[in-house]
Structure 1
Amino acid sequence: MVIDNLSNLRKYEGVIFGAEKIAEFLEKNDAVALSAGRHDVADGIFVNVLDLNNGENTTYEAHRKYHDLQCIITGDEYMKRCHISAALDGGEYNDEGDYILYSSADKESVCHLFAGEFAFFEPDDAHCPGICGTTSVVRKLVFKIPV
């Protein structure tokens, strides 16, 4: 897991595949004005633009085919993270949606992300985003990066 400011994204080109392409996409597009939904970026990378009413999410998710780069554009959000070996009560893997859901975690870390920050999750990072911060509405971009 990596947490940092979006202005530093290019520094992770050797760590996060496509960091340069994602940075270019963010520079060329107004993230606040982007329509909600899926947008193709480059090299198999796509982004889901989400407007969320944050709540008390308690469900962890993990992926096999994609890394997640979750960027907070407006608002703030808490996210939990654990290694998948500490995730509990996992359901069946959904191949089409590329996710497995877990009900809880044995050991977890919590981070608080604000507008202009990102969290990068690898396939072995079970993560629980969407936990209410100090604002009730969050615009976020979730970049899906092929493994």
Structure 2
Amino acid sequence: MIIDSLEHASKYKFGPAWEKTFEFLAKVDPAIEEGKHIIDGDNVFALVSEYKTKDYDKGRFEAHRKYVDIQFLISGREKLGYASLQALEEETPYDSERDVEFLKDLPEVPSISTLIPGIFMAFFPQDGHMPGLAYDKPEPVKKIVIKIAINAL
């Protein structure tokens, strides 16, 4: 997992797909419409959504095998949980079509970090993450999740 500011993204040398991701984020119009936005075919695309954050007890850990998730807020505040896959156990088996499995946390306390505009979080296949958590109380957010194919890095 990586947590950093958008201005530092170029310090990570993961190749052209990574660079295209952060070029997109640096130029994104806050009025971008919800939905899927193609950046580089199936290798890099953005999913834009607006929703209300939720309390921790309503969250679910997830993990992906084919894509890295880059989470970036346009507006609002959100907390995200993080735990390595070894600290989680399967709740819903991996769905290869949707590239997601849902997990539940074991007694170890996961790490909780705050996401605000200008900061990104990158989650790799070994990273379980629980997005969409309320900062203090549920609030509306606008978010971009960029999917980078593992084989494009």
TM-score norm. by structure 1 comes to 0.90
Aligned equivalents of 1:28 and 1:6: distance in 2? 11
Counterpart position of 1:25: 24
| CA deviation string 1:27-51 (max 9, x = no partner) | 3431x11110111112610010011
Aligned equivalents of 1:17 and 1:109: distance in 2? 30
Quick one: structure 1 residues 41 and 87, their matched pair in 2 at CA, closer, same or farther if it must change by over 3 Å? same
1:1-147 correspondence to structure 2 within 5 Å: 1-12=1-12, 14-15=13-14, 18-30=17-29, 32-42=30-40, 44-56=43-55, 57-107=58-108, 108-134=110-136, 136-147=139-150
Gaps of 5+ in 2: none
| CA deviation string 1:88-119 (max 9, x = no partner) | 24321111100000133443111111111110
SS in 2 for 1:92: strand
- The count of aligned residue pairs is 145
SS in 2 for 1:96: coil
RMSD, aligned α-carbons: 1.7
SS in 1 for 2:65: coil
Q: Is the 8 A contact 1:18 1:145 kept in 2?
A: yes
Gaps of 5+ in 1: none
SS in 1 for 2:23: helix
SS in 2 for 1:35: coil
Aligned equivalents of 2:17 and 2:124: distance in 1? 14
Q: Is the 8 A contact 1:58 1:104 kept in 2?
A: no
What one-letter code is carried by the residue in structure 1 that aligns with 2:118?
G
What one-letter code is carried by the residue in structure 2 that aligns with 1:85?
Q
